[in-house]
Each structure stands twice: as structure tokens, then as C-alpha cells.
């Protein structure tokens, strides 16, 4: 039979016509028959924070296709290439299916019982020996809000350690810190709709065309806008700009301060708004003294007239929108830069209005969820550790003694790693993240992990560079296999649903957290009567009631109906669920006095300046086909086909000087290490003196060379600039 | 604080402003008049986005707006999902073009499926008539059932549109989602594009034939003249003159096509041998029935090998179908006739039929014509390194050289035969040399790349290609010994095999721009 089939194939009798047949589908239309589903499950994309509504087509227990949800307010049916291929992640190679425990040096399959028992036993032993805070927990922005809410309680109250943070510190903590300092609370104030209504859009260090392509639809629809893009690299987004400002790396803060000074000097600011809704105007003015046009031109490399023109365009706009992402956040000056952006928006009154917002475009699908409901850098509901009333309120809501609510946050992600290097952190629980690829200056991290007594890694995939080092691997369900909610960049809460069962014995993170609580003996106290994410959501609604991120008016049913609701959505609100919401429309901010703070900021050069030994500035970033550390997208053949490996962008002038040719394999060397055999792209996309390396690829890991420099306020790494040199790799392949 | 290094950025000064091109007015149907359809693709309603069916003298075409494309590649994934294709096959591709000097850099993207040409070269070359240009829509469709997997269309299309699917043994291509359009649904790529850079339009064929040059061409694309592409491309209003493919420096060898290497060299050997046998017989030297049998076996082997090139060898006979139009059909026809004549001629030699010399002449003539036609089918604009009379010279010189080697063996190295070998050698070498000169001197990207492939990737093969026949030539004077004469022939054959291998792997096809990185890991 087999031989007959082989012969039929080889001879050309059988051309697999049925596999390649097409037919009509009521949902998809006329398509490949293999993509037709029995039923469709509504959900939300699990990659980035744009938060596109999706539908998963299920047939015989497999997700055979995905499509954008045509009724979802965010994407109206469109998806980016990662989203269009997202169903392949579910059955990708390398899914973690069974708990694995390191025995005699190798990871061995064990039962969940043994896994949980060992984990709790080891954590307790370490905590007994070295103190409760010797346990660290690092989570992610990829879980559902219900899981973040449960995990925060479990870690802070159940495990009793404050040393809990998320990988969100690697991307969004700067925006969080900046918002908190300026407005008294985290929370991007605007809505995506603003992109359609702003007459001026200023994108700073935000390559939305590459990283958030579905937002570009709205830019395209806004025909009357002027789009200004500030970026040292001629990105795809820069190509969309009406005015492109090729700033020198890390000079954005000087640019914004110069703009502020012009707006103030030329009295173009909104005097009424400043007087009524802000504090700190005088100090701000004083701090701007050095930022003359000449000074800013020297720092940024821009023509002074152009800086002035940009400032005037911004100040005179009816509604001006500033969007930023990692170009701002990945910096030791990130928080101050966010504050400068907020200053600019505040003094011109460009906040809380249609089209006007200082808007941080978030990274991961549910980074927002962990910011709202997590218990790492704040108490759930944007409550503050150092606010006695907040602590008392949460203790009352949770029915626990107020003493158990910490009065201070624990270590941030980089400090947990440094704690492990110093031997203060002895056990670590890593959830849904792959620091071996994503953490800066990777050798420090390796050293930290080697120092641990016990490392638990909970992930949907195994092996990953991080699970390979684990003492215990907990296999988790991923997107498409579990239920809950995500919050996107515009504070829109959307429902996430399970379409299929997780593979093997893997379990939803939510179930894992409850099981750990059970083992710790704190389930009934922390999670009374909880069985499913719905129970967590209902408690979270009560806990968030009255807060800025008020969920109390939302129900799962409503979320399913509307395809997402923006918070705040308090119970009994007059606004319909689908209405667009903006924060601070009333001019009242979350500070004690209700006024936003204008904060002085000072530009400084990035920490590692180029030298004769390391003369080039390395910039890192992303490509549209891949997601972060490529755990999922690297296993999806169509995405791999479109972007198979890393490359290094270098200006032709530098290439000539170094006698390097296009497609040469090169070493990128920093004071900390090297990236080997990366393919050179000689291109005018980057300026002379700069090189660019995408960070997704474990094989040529940019974090071998990035530095351990962190924003002093947000603790976010300075991924964007470090000094390197580039050499031809010794053995060129033939 | 001074940042000395960054000052270098300043050398090129200012910023640049981009203005969006206003799309040129054109005689296209407005999409708003389109019939409604409730069905959506990838969640996107395609209602009112499909123009009404083209009228007489009209056809559908793609419009690609480069000013809108952000290079997100959604169209690629949507196309593969629509058609159930594996990742190795992309019916829609996105290429990058780039130019200018930082920060006045221009980078743009080209998204392309099939251009549904007015004069589709895939169609005209097809030996089995698997392609049709639809009467109503003008869509160039391909029938997998009719296709035999010869892949000649993949050489003929200068855009590299038809792609071979080894799993099926047939090629496939973008059909503008014919089935969707028929149902009023938008094609997958257009529906998935977040920037609405891809749309379907109706074009007046006669008008387009007159003025296609203005909007069918783009940097990073082969000339629309080859086949009169119907895709309308809106280019940015301002674009640097040096904007070109980012993959210009990529060196990617083509497939070797071993069955074709074997087929071409062995048919040429057989034709050369039969010609020698006939000349020897006609000049009354002697009759070589054993040699004829060997040459016949070689011909049979060659023809058998050629079927292995097909994805569907069982339907090889279909290749004769389009002999009025396709050079591939003509090749198959002539070689079939050659094989029949050679069989008859061989039989006549074995049976000692007198007066069968005309059969030998017929065999030789059919064979020589066959080799010429065989070469002719490689003369396609999409493969510039092949598209030269030198290809015909190369094929004929192989036949001459190997035929002479055969004569050298049969005549026990008679002086005339030795001279013939010498002449054959000179001819083959001259052809090869002229081809190298042509490639080396060319400024055409594809020809220059072929030259670079020969010099950088295949330099050892190239050396061998010349060394092997030189060794044969050195042995030629020692031809008194039978095994030496055979060795001379074997060295020459080996040289021709290496040459033919290089012929296939170093051809650089014309194509649209691709991404910067080669698809295969280096």
C-alpha cells in the first residue's frame, strides 16, 4: 500500500488534489478546504499590546485557521503577519508537555504532584535558611489579568516575598514611572481613535510600522495629519513621515526640552490649562534655560530651524498626539524623557481631549494587565505601597491583616538578578519569559542563575534557552488554550478564550497558581472558592472599583459582546460600554492635589560613549515577523521563511572604512562580549557611526553585548545604545 | 557634552520631507459601484471592494500602491493561508528597494503576486497548455491537472511567478483568487492589507497596451516589456534615482537540474556519435553497428533521464501537445523523431540492410536540429545568461566534440578524427570563453552575478571545466591504444558535464526584488 502510494506520487498520478482543494466556507469564503473550521472561538491576539480581536477556527480539536474579528473595535478584522499565523504556535514543535525535574543532572519527567511538592519544599527550605525574601519571582506580560492578579497575591501573601517583578520592566516600566511621576498614576491617557483625529502626530522612538502595523491603518485613515517621526534610524515608520527628524542616538530629551523652551518663550502654551491643572511651571521654566536652539541642534544633530518648526507645529496643533515606544523607554534617561513628553503635552493642554494625548504604546499583549492588577511595582488597582490608606483598603478588601501588605516594593527585575549574583536571592521562579535571550549583558544573568539553589521555569515551550537551565520545568498552556482578559495600550480590556485543550499534561498558569497555593496552605485564605479565571475577574472587579482602572462595570458577557471595553468602566456609568474613554478629561489628575506635575528634566549623554576601541553605537530593535525571543515565532515556518536570521545594519561609509562587504559575516564586540557570525547589511538605513542588530535571535543574541545600565527610577535597561566594534568573522563559509 | 562620532552624521545634513503621491487618474472602474458581497476574508469585509466583472476589451488587474505599503508582509501570510501552501512556496512576495544617502534614505516595498500579463510568457512556453488567459477576467490561470511539472514556465516568467511544488509534482501560481472574485469576494492579499495598498481594478486592455510603460514598471522589477504586465504600480512622487533592489549583492546558485544535465549532454553525445557513424559509413570507411547500438542506448538513457525532470513523468507524452507554440514540445518532438530514426538506422546496420545510408543522414539531421531546438528553449529573457546564441553554439559544440571523440575511437585515432577532436575542442573552448567574456563585460545585474558566481562560488568547477578537456587533449596524440582513446572521450565528456552543471547553477534569473537575506541560511 505504501509502495503503491509512493509510486503514485512519484509518477505523478497523485498530485494531492484533495489536500490542495478549495471550497466555499460560510465564514472565510472560497478558501483552501483545509482552513475550514467547525466552529469559531473569539479571542484576542497574544503577541503585542495593540490587542487585536481574533477568531480561532477549530476543527476536530485543532485550530486550523485564524482571522481578525471584523467586529472588534481595535482592528476591524485586520491582523499583522504574526497574528495571521498565530494558530501555528499552538501545535508548534517544542511545546512543553510534562513537568520535568532535574535528577542527576538531567531533566526527567515527573508527576504534577511531585513537581509541586518539590517546588514548595525547595522554596520553603531556601526561605527558611536565607530568609523569606531570598525567593524571587519574575513573570511576564503574556499572562491573562486574572493570572496576574492571582500570582501577585500568591507571591506577596502566600510565598511572602516582595522580590517579584515582571519582564515588563524590560519594556514598559519607564512609561509607568513617567506616568506616575507626572500624573500621579500609571495609565496611558488616550485612545487609538486619537490617531485618527490628531492633526499632528509626533512619534518618538516608535517604529509602529514594524512593531504595531495595525495602528498604521489609523494613521493611513487620518488624511489631514502631519506625521513627524523622531528616530536615529530610517525605519519603515520614518518612511511614512511628513517630516523625519534623524536625531542622534539618545538626544530626544534635548529635542523635547528645546521644543518646550520655544513653546514657553514664544508664549504658545495654554496658560489657562497650566494655571488650573498643573504645578511646577516655574521650576520647569528654570530647568529649560540651557536648552537653546543652538544647544539642542548640537546635541540632536538637527537643523535649529527644523526644531523650531516642529515645536511650532506641535504647539499650534488643535490636537497633538505623541506616541512613543522603546526608543524612549530603553534608556537610563527614559523616565525623564517620558516626563518631558508629558510636560510638552501638559503645557499645551494636549491631554484628555480627542486626538490629544501623550501615549505610550505598550509592548506585550497584557503588560497593561500586570500593571493594573499585578502586585509587583504597586498594589493592585494602581494603589501605592507607601500610601497607608491604599494598604488599609486592600487589606480590608482581601480580609487580611494590614501588616501583611508590604509598605515598600521589593526588588525590581535587574535588582533580583543582581541579588542572585550577590547570593541574596537563592531561589527563583520564572514565568512565561526567556531571560537568557532578553536580559541585557547576558553573562551576568547566567552567573546569577548558576548561583541559585533552585530555579523553576514555567513556560509553554521546552526547551528554551532558559528552561534548559531550570531545576524544575512547569509546562503551561499558551494563548488559545486558556481563558481570561488582556488590556491593550488604550486600556481596552478584551476577552481571551480557550479554543483547544493544552497539550500533554500542561496546565493553564491560573491552575498552576491555585495548585501552588493549595500546597502552601493559603488557597482558602487568598482564593476562597476560586476555580476558574472568572472567580478572579469578579474579585478584581470589586478590588478595582473606584480606582482609575475601574473594572467594576464590566462583565465577561459584556466583553464578549463589545469585543473590548476601555477602563475606567465603573458600575452604573452613563457611558455605553463601547464608548471611547480618555483619562483626565476633567483636568483632575491622580496626584494628592489633583494637579499634574511639570517636572524638570536634564539631558545627559548615554552611559557608554563610543571610544577608539569601540567606535560604533549599537542600536537594537525588532522586525515585524518575530516576537521578542522568538520562542513562538521561531517555530512558525512562514515567519521563519520571511525572516530567517539576524543581520547587522551598517552605513556604507563605515563598511568602506572597515573594508567590509554586504553579506560578510561579522563579529560585533562590546566590552562585555561578542555576537558572532552575524550577516552584514550595508545600508543607508542607519547613519555613519551607528549599527543596528535585531534582538530576537538567540543564535546571535544582542544581549551578549548590551550593557548593565538601568534607568535609576524605572530600572529599565538601556538596551538602545552601547559602544561596539565590528570585525570580519575569521572563518568565512564557502 | 560633545558626541564627536555623531557629528559624522551631520555630513549629509538636513532632513527630508516626503510627500505622498497623489494617485494618477486612470480609466479604472470605481469600486464603490461594485456589487455587494457579505463574505469576508480574514475577518475583513470585502463588501463593495470587488469591481464588477470586466466588460468586453477589459480585464482585472492588481493595483499596488507603493506609497501605502509598509512592508508588513501580511499579504504573504494571507496568500499562503488562502491557498494552503507550505512556507517554501510564496505566490505573493514582498521585496525591498532602497536608495539615497542617510538620512535622505528611501526605502520602499514591492508586493507582487502574478501580474496577469497581456502576453504571458508562462503560457506561450507551456508544452501542455496548462495555462489559460481567462476570456472574461484576463486572469492567467493554471491547471494542476494538465501540468506535467516540467517547470519551463518558471524559466519563462521574468518575475519568477510560477513556483514548483515538489509535494505535488506540479507548479502553481497566483490566480488573483479567481474563485473568490467569481463570488464577489476580495482576493486574500488585498483583504489582508492593513494599508489598502493592494486593490483589484478593471483595465481597458487596448489602452493599457498603449501606455503600460508609465505605470507597470518600478525599480526592483524586471521590465514590463517582456510580457506586458498588467499590474498598475503607484510609485512615490519623489524617489532617488539610485533606488534599487537590496538583494543585488546576493549570490544564490540556481538548481542543478541533474536530469537535464544528463539529458542534454547525453543527447548531444548521441547525436554526435550517430553523425560520426553516418559520416564514416557514408565515406565508406566502415559500418559500426555496435557503436550505433551504444549511441542508441545513450539516446534512450538521455530521454529516460529527461522524464525524471518532470514532476509527473507518467504524463511525459503530453509534452508533445503544443509543438506549434512551445519550444519544449518541439524539443521533445525532434528528439522522439531522432530516437525513432536512430533505432531504424541501428536496426538497418545490424540487419545489414543495404542502401540505408539515408537513414543515417536523417538521424544526423534530426539530431542536429534537435540539439539546436533543445538549446533554443533556453533562450528566454528571464534567464539572461542563457539568452544568447552562445547557448546554441555551446550545445552544438558539445555534440561536435563528443562526436569527434567517438570517431576517434572508431577510426583507431585516424588523423582526420584527431583533427576533428581538436576542432571540437577549440569550438567548445571558444564558446565557453566567449560566454565568460560576455558575462564579465556585462553591466546587466543578472549577467554580472553569473560572472561573480563563476568566479567566487564555482571557481573550482570552472577550473575543472577547462582542465578536464585539456587533459583529454594531451592524451589525444597517444591514441594508438584503445583505452587511451576511450580515456580521451571520457575526459571530454566529464568536461562537458561540468560545463553543463555550471550552465544550470550559475544562471541568475531576472526577478522582482527580494528581502535582504537569502531564504536559505548561509
Predicted confidence (pLDDT) per residue in A101-112, tens digit: 999 999 999 999
Which residues from B are below 8 Å from A609, CB to CB? Answer: 3
Task: In whole angstroms, give the CA distance from residue A661 to residue B261.
Answer: 34
Whether B82 and A34 lie within 8 Å, measured CB to CB: no
B109's CB contacts (< 8 A; 6+ apart) are B66, B69, B70, B71, B94, B95, B96, B97
> What mean pLDDT comes out for the span B235-263?
93
| Out of B107, B311, B315, closest to residue A685 by CB | B107
Which residues from A are below 8 Å from B77, CB to CB? Answer: 81, 84-85, 638-639
- Asked whether B200 and B190 are in contact (CB, 8 A), the reply is yes
A248 shares contact with chain B (CB less than 8 Å): yes
Which residues from B are below 8 Å from A301, CB to CB? Answer: 6-7, 9-10
A158 shares contact with chain B (CB less than 8 Å): no
How much is the pLDDT for A450? Answer: 95
At residue B20, does pLDDT exceed 60? no
How much is the pLDDT for A83? Answer: 98
- Asked whether A398 and A375 are in contact (CB, 8 A), the reply is no
Phi, psi of A454 (to 5 degrees): -150, 125
Interface residue of A16, A85, A687, A731 to substitute, partner B, most B CBs within 10 Å: A687
Q: Taking the model in full, what pTM does it have?
A: 0.94
Cis peptide before B226 (omega within 30 of 0): no
Label the pairing between strands A357-360 and A226-230. unpaired
> What mean pLDDT comes out for the span B467-483?
93
- pLDDT class for A732, splitting at 50, 70, 90? low
Backbone dihedral region for residue A382 (phi beyond 0: left; psi -120 to 50: alpha; all else: beta): left
Tens digits of residue pLDDT in B45-104: 455 689 999 999 999 999 999 999 999 999 999 999 999 999 999 999 999 999 999 999
Whether A610 and B168 lie within 8 Å, measured CB to CB: no
A80 shares contact with chain B (CB less than 8 Å): yes
Phi, psi of B127 (to 5 degrees): -75, -15
B368 shares contact with chain A (CB less than 8 Å): no
At residue A584, does pLDDT exceed 50? yes
Which residues from A are below 8 Å from B106, CB to CB? Answer: 239
| Out of B46, B84, B515, closest to residue A32 by CB | B84
Whether A240 and B70 lie within 8 Å, measured CB to CB: yes
The side-by-side arrangement of strands in the sheet containing B93-99 is: B106-112, B93-99, B244-245
Which residues from A are below 8 Å from B90, CB to CB? Answer: 641
- pLDDT class for A30, splitting at 50, 70, 90? very high
How much is the pLDDT for A693? Answer: 98
Describe the crossing of helices A442-450 and A413-421 by its angle, rounded to 10 degrees.
Answer: 60
CA distance A618 to chain B (A): 13
Mean of the per-residue pLDDT values of chain B: 90
> What mean pLDDT comes out for the span A403-431?
97
Whether A306 and B196 lie within 8 Å, measured CB to CB: no
At residue B472, does pLDDT exceed 90? yes
> What mean pLDDT comes out for the span B235-245?
92
B 14-33: CB under 8 A from A: 14-19
- Asked whether B270 and B101 are in contact (CB, 8 A), the reply is no
CA distance A171 to chain B (A): 22
| Out of A15, A301, A609, closest to residue B9 by CB | A301
Whether B314 and A12 lie within 8 Å, measured CB to CB: yes
At residue B2, does pLDDT exceed 50? no
> What is the greatest pairwise CA distance in chain A?
87
The interface pTM score, or ipTM, of the predicted complex is 0.96
How much is the pLDDT for B47? Answer: 54
Least confident of A335-344, A355-364, B425-434, B512-521: B512-521
DSSP B17-83: B--PPPPPP-----GGGSPP---EETTEE-TT-SPPPP-TTEEEEEEEETTT-----HHHHHHHHHH
What's B14's DSSP letter? -
What are A496's strand-pairing partners?
A: A484
CA distance B9 to chain A (A): 6
How much is the pLDDT for B479? Answer: 81
Mean of the per-residue pLDDT values of chain A: 96
Whether A29 and B192 lie within 8 Å, measured CB to CB: no
Task: In whole angstroms, give the CA distance from residue B92 to residue B454.
Answer: 30
At residue B265, does pLDDT exceed 90? yes
Which residues from A are below 8 Å from B81, CB to CB? Answer: 31-32, 35, 65, 84-85
Whether B170 and A15 lie within 8 Å, measured CB to CB: yes
Task: In whole angstroms, give the CA distance from residue A352 to residue A449.
Answer: 45
- pLDDT class for B288, splitting at 50, 70, 90? confident
| Out of B5, B18, B103, closest to residue A689 by CB | B5
Tens digits of residue pLDDT in A184-196: 999 999 999 999 9
How much is the pLDDT for B48? Answer: 63
How much is the pLDDT for B491? Answer: 97
> What mean pLDDT comes out for the span B142-154?
97
- pLDDT class for B16, splitting at 50, 70, 90? very low
Whether B18 and A242 lie within 8 Å, measured CB to CB: yes
Residue A474's nearest CA partner among A444, A452, A453, A454 is: A454
CA distance B160 to chain A (A): 17
- pLDDT class for B27, splitting at 50, 70, 90? very low
In Å, what is the CA distance from A692 to each residue of A649, A717, A721, B97, B104?
5, 17, 10, 18, 18
Tens digits of residue pLDDT in A520-564: 999 999 999 999 999 999 999 999 999 999 999 999 999 999 889
- Write out the three cell numbers for B266: 547525453
Which residues from B are below 8 Å from A255, CB to CB? Answer: none
- Asked whether A211 and A622 are in contact (CB, 8 A), the reply is yes
At residue B521, does pLDDT exceed 90? no
Least confident of A572-576, A618-622, A706-710, B142-146: A572-576
Closest A-chain CA to B42: A67
How much is the pLDDT for B284? Answer: 79
A 83-122: CB under 8 A from B: 84-85
Interface residue of A214, A239, A609, A633 to substitute, partner B, most B CBs within 10 Å: A239
- Length of chain B (residues): 522
Closest B-chain CA to A53: B43
CA distance B454 to chain A (A): 13
Provide, rounded to the nearest whole percent, the portion of chain B with pLDDT above 70.
Answer: 90
CA distance A46 to chain B (A): 17
Phi, psi of B324 (to 5 degrees): -75, -20
- Asked whether A340 and A253 are in contact (CB, 8 A), the reply is yes
Task: In whole angstroms, give the CA distance from residue A556 to residue A496.
Answer: 10
How much is the pLDDT for A579? Answer: 85
Whether A55 and B43 lie within 8 Å, measured CB to CB: yes
Provide, rounded to the nearest whole percent, the portion of chain B with pLDDT above 90.
Answer: 83
Side-chain-facing half-sphere of A14: CA atoms under 13 Å: 12
Least confident of A300-314, B7-21, B371-385: B7-21
- pLDDT class for B109, splitting at 50, 70, 90? very high
At residue B135, does pLDDT exceed 50? yes
Tens digits of residue pLDDT in B294-341: 999 999 999 999 999 999 999 999 999 999 999 999 999 999 999 999
Reduced to 3 states, what is the DSSP secondary structure of residue A52? coil
Which residues from B are below 8 Å from A605, CB to CB? Answer: 1, 3
- Asked whether B332 and B377 are in contact (CB, 8 A), the reply is no
Tens digits of residue pLDDT in B346-358: 999 999 888 888 9
* Interior angle at CA B67, CA B62 and CA B73, nearest 5: 65
At residue B177, does pLDDT exceed 50? yes
- Write out the three cell numbers for A278: 498643573
Task: In whole angstroms, give the CA distance from residue B72 to residue A48.
Answer: 15
In Å, what is the CA distance from A111 to each residue of A98, A455, A474?
8, 18, 10
How much is the pLDDT for B287? Answer: 74
> What mean pLDDT comes out for the span A74-80?
96
In Å, what is the CA distance from A525 to each residue of A135, A158, A518, A520, B270?
21, 9, 10, 11, 90
| Out of A29, A682, A683, closest to residue B180 by CB | A29
Better-scored residue on pLDDT, A669 or B478 = A669
Whether B41 and A301 lie within 8 Å, measured CB to CB: no
In Å, what is the CA distance from B292 to each residue of A488, B26, B28, B403, B484?
79, 65, 64, 12, 21
Whether A688 and B102 lie within 8 Å, measured CB to CB: yes
At residue B423, does pLDDT exceed 80? yes
Whether B71 and A24 lie within 8 Å, measured CB to CB: no
Whether B87 and A640 lie within 8 Å, measured CB to CB: yes
> What mean pLDDT comes out for the span A36-57?
97
At residue B24, does pLDDT exceed 80? no
B246 shares contact with chain A (CB less than 8 Å): yes
Task: In whole angstroms, give the CA distance from residue B222 to residue A392.
Answer: 72
How much is the pLDDT for A721? Answer: 96
B 123-142: CB under 8 A from A: none
Task: In whole angstroms, give the CA distance from residue A701 to residue A79.
Answer: 28
Tens digits of residue pLDDT in A136-174: 999 999 999 999 999 999 999 999 999 999 999 999 999
How much is the pLDDT for B353? Answer: 85
Which residues from B are below 8 Å from A68, CB to CB? Answer: 42-44
Whether A78 and B71 lie within 8 Å, measured CB to CB: no
* Interior angle at CA A94, CA A88 and CA A96, nearest 5: 105
Amino acid at each position: 500500500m505504501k509502495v503503491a502510494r509512493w509510486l503514485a506520487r512519484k509518477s505523478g498520478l497523485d498530485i494531492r488534489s484533495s489536500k490542495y482543494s478549495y471550497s466555499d466556507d460560510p465564514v472565510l469564503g472560497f478558501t483552501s478546504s483545509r482552513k475550514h473550521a467547525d466552529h469559531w472561538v473569539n479571542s484576542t491576539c497574544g503577541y503585542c499590546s495593540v490587542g487585536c480581536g481574533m477568531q480561532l477556527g477549530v476543527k476536530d480539536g485543532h485550530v486550523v485557521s485564524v482571522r481578525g474579528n471584523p467586529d472588534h473595535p481595535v482592528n476591524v478584522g485586520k491582523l499583522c503577519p504574526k497574528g495571521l499565523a498565530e494558530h501555528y504556535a499552538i501545535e508548534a514543535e517544542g511545546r512543553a508537555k510534562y513537568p520535568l525535574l532535574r535528577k542527576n543532572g538531567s531533566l526527567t519527567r515527573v508527576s504534577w504532584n511531585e513537581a509541586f511538592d518539590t517546588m514548595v519544599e525547595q522554596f520553603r527550605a531556601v526561605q527558611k535558611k536565607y530568609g523569606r525574601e531570598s525567593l524571587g519571582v519574575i513573570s511576564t506580560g503574556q499572562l491573562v489579568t486574572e493570572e496576574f492578579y492571582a500570582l501577585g497575591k500568591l507571591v506577596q501573601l502566600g510565598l511572602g516575598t516582595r522580590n517579584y517583578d515582571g519582564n515588563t520592566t524590560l519594556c514598559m516600566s519607564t512609561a509607568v514611572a513617567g506616568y506616575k511621576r507626572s500624573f500621579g498614576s500609571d495609565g496611558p491617557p488616550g485612545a487609538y481613535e486619537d490617531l485618527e483625529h490628531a492633526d499632528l502626530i509626533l512619534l518618538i522612538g516608535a517604529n509602529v510600522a514594524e512593531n504595531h502595523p495595525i495602528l498604521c491603518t489609523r494613521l493611513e485613515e487620518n488624511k489631514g495629519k502631519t506625521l513627524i517621526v523622531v528616530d536615529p534610524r530610517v525605519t519603515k515608520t520614518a518612511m511614512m513621515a511628513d517630516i523625519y527628524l534623524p536625531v542622534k542616538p539618545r538626544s530626544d530629551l534635548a529635542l523635547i526640552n528645546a521644543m518646550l523652551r520655544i513653546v514657553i518663550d514664544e508664549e504658545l502654551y495654554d496658560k489657562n490649562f497650566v494655571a488650573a491643572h498643573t504645578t511646577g511651571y516655574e521650576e520647569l521654566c528654570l530647568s529649560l534655560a540651557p536648552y537653546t536652539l543652538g544647544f539642542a541642534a548640537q546635541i540632536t544633530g538637527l537643523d535649529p530651524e527644523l526644531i523650531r518648526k516642529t515645536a511650532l507645529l506641535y504647539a499650534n496643533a488643535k490636537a497633538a498626539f505623541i506616541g512613543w515606544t522603546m526608543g524612549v523607554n530603553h534608556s537610563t534617561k527614559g523616565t525623564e524623557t517620558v516626563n518631558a513628553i508629558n510636560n510638552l503635552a501638559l503645557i499645551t493642554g494636549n491631554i484628555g481631549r480627542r486626538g490629544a494625548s501623550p501615549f505610550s504604546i505598550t509592548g506585550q499583549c497584557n503588560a497593561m494587565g500586570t500593571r493594573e492588577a499585578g502586585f509587583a511595582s504597586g498594589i493592585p488597582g494602581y494603589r501605592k505601597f507607601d500610601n497607608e490608606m491604599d494598604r488599609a483598603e486592600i487589606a480590608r478588601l482581601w480580609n487580611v491583616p494590614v501588616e501583611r501588605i508590604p509598605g515598600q516594593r521589593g526588588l525590581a527585575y535587574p535588582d533580583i538578578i543582581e541579588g542572585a549574583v550577590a547570593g541574596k536571592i537563592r531561589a527563583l521562579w520564572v514565568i512565561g519569559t526567556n531571560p537568557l535571550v532578553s536580559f541585557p549583558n547576558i553573562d551576568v544573568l547566567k552567573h546569577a542563575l548558576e548561583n541559585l539553589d533552585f530555579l523553576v521555569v514555567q513556560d509553554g515551550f521546552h526547551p528554551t534557552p532558559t528552561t534548559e537551565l531550570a531545576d524544575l520545568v512547569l509546562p503551561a498552556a499558551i494563548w488559545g488554550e486558556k481563558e481570561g482578559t488582556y488590556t491593550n495600550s488604550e486600556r481596552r480590556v478584551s476577552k481571551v478564550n480557550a479554543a483547544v485543550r493544552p497539550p500533554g499534561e500542561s496546565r493553564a498558569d491560573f491552575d498552576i497558581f491555585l495548585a501552588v497555593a493549595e500546597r502552601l496552605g493559603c488557597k482558602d485564605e487568598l482564593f476562597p472558592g476560586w476555580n476558574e479565571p472568572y472567580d478572579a475577574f469578579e474579585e478584581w472587579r470589586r478590588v478595582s472599583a473606584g480606582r482609575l482602572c475601574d473594572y467594576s462595570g464590566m462583565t465577561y458577557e459584556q466583553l464578549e459582546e463589545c469585543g473590548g471595553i476601555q477602563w475606567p468602566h465603573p458600575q452604573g456609568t452613563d457611558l455605553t460600554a463601547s464608548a471611547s474613554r480618555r483619562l483626565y478629561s476633567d483636568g483632575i489628575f491622580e496626584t494628592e492635589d489633583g494637579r499634574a506635575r511639570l517636572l524638570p528634566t536634564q539631558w545627559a549623554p548615554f552611559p557608554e560613549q563610543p571610544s577608539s576601541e569601540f567606535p560604533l553605537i549599537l542600536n537594537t530593535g525588532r522586525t515585524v515577523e518575530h516576537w521578542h525571543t522568538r520562542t513562538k515565532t521561531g517555530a512558525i515556518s512562514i515567519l521563519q521563511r520571511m525572516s530567517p536570521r539576524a543581520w547587522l545594519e551598517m552605513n556604507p561609509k563605515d563598511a568602506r572604512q572597515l573594508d567590509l562587504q554586504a553579506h560578510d559575516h561579522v563579529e560585533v564586540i562590546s566590552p562585555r562580549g561578542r555576537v558572532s557570525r552575524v550577516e552584514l547589511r550595508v545600508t543607508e538605513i542607519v547613519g555613519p557611526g551607528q549599527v543596528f542588530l535585531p534582538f530576537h535571535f538567540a543564535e546571535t543574541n544582542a544581549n551578549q553585548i548590551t550593557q548593565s545600565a538601568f534607568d535609576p527610577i524605572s530600572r529599565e535597561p538601556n538596551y538602545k545604545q552601547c559602544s561596539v566594534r565590528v570585525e570580519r568573522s575569521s572563518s568565512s563559509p564557502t | 557634552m560633545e558626541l564627536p562620532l555623531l557629528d559624522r552624521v551631520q555630513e549629509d545634513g538636513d532632513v527630508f520631507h516626503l510627500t505622498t503621491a497623489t494617485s494618477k487618474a486612470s480609466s479604472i472602474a470605481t469600486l464603490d459601484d461594485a456589487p455587494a458581497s457579505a463574505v469576508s476574508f480574514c475577518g475583513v469585509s470585502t463588501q463593495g471592494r470587488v469591481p464588477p466583472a470586466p466588460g468586453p476589451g477589459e480585464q482585472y488587474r492588481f493595483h499596488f500602491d507603493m506609497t501605502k505599503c509598509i512592508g508588513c508582509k501580511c499579504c504573504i501570510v494571507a496568500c499562503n493561508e488562502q491557498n494552503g501552501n507550505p512556507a517554501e512556496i510564496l505566490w505573493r512576495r514582498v521585496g525591498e528597494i532602497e536608495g539615497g544617502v542617510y538620512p535622505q534614505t528611501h526605502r520602499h516595498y514591492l508586493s507582487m503576486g502574478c501580474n496577469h500579463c497581456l502576453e504571458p510568457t508562462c503560457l506561450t512556453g507551456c508544452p501542455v497548455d496548462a495555462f489559460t488567459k481567462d476570456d472574461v477576467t484576463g486572469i492567467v490561470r493554471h491547471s494542476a491537472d494538465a501540468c506535467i511539472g516540467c517547470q519551463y514556465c518558471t524559466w519563462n516568467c521574468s518575475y519568477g511567478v510560477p513556483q514548483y511544488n515538489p509535494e505535488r509534482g506540479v507548479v502553481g501560481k497566483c490566480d488573483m483568487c479567481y474563485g473568490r472574485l467569481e463570488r464577489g469576494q476580495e482576493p486574500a492579499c488585498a483583504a489582508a492589507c492593513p494599508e489598502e495598498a493592494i486593490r483589484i481594478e478593471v483595465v481597458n486592455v487596448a489602452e493599457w497596451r498603449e501606455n503600460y510603460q508609465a505605470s507597470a514598471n518600478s525599480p526592483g522589477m524586471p521590465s514590463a516589456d517582456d510580457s506586458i504586465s498588467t499590474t498598475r504600480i503607484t510609485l512615490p512622487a519623489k524617489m532617488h534615482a539610485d533606488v534599487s533592489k537590496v538583494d543585488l549583492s546576493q549570490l544564490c546558485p540556481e538548481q542543478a537540474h541533474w536530469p537535464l544535465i544528463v539529458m542534454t549532454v547525453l543527447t548531444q553525445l548521441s547525436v554526435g556519435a550517430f553523425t560520426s557513424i553516418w559520416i564514416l559509413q557514408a565515406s565508406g570507411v566502415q559500418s559500426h553497428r555496435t557503436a550505433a547500438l551504444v549511441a542508441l542506448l545513450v539516446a534512450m538513457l538521455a530521454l529516460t533521464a529527461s522524464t525524471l525532470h518532470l514532476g509527473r513523468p507518467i504524463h511525459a507524452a503530453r509534452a508533445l501537445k503544443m509543438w506549434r507554440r512551445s519550444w519544449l514540445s518541439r524539443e521533445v518532438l525532434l528528439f522522439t523523431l531522432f530516437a525513432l530514426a536512430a533505432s531504424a538506422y541501428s536496426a538497418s546496420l545490424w540487419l545489414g540492410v543495404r542502401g540505408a545510408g539515408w537513414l543515417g543522414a536523417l538521424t544526423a539531421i534530426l539530431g542536429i536540429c534537435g540539439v539546436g531546438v533543445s538549446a533554443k528553449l533556453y533562450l528566454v529573457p528571464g534567464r539572461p545568461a542563457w539568452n544568447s546564441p552562445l547557448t546554441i553554439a555551446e550545445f552544438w559544440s558539445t555534440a561536435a566534440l563528443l562526436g569527434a571523440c567517438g570517431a576517434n575511437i572508431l577510426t583507431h585515432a585516424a588523423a582526420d578524427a584527431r583533427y576533428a577532436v581538436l576542432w571540437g575542442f577549440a569550438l567548445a573552448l571558444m564558446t565557453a570563453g566567449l560566454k565568460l567574456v560576455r558575462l564579465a563585460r556585462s553591466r546587466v545585474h543578472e549577467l554580472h552575478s553569473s560572472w561573480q558566481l563563476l568566479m567566487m562560488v564555482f571557481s573550482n568547477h570552472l577550473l575543472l571545466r577547462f582542465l578536464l578537456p585539456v587533459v583529454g587533449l594531451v592524451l589525444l596524440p597517444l591514441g594508438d591504444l584503445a583505452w587511451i582513446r576511450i580515456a580521451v572521450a571520457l575526459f571530454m565528456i566529464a568536461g562537458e558535464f561540468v560545463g553543463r552543471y555550471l550552465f544550470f547553477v550559475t544562471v541568475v534569473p531576472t526577478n522582482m526584488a527580494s528581502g535582504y537575506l537569502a531564504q536559505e541560511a548561509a
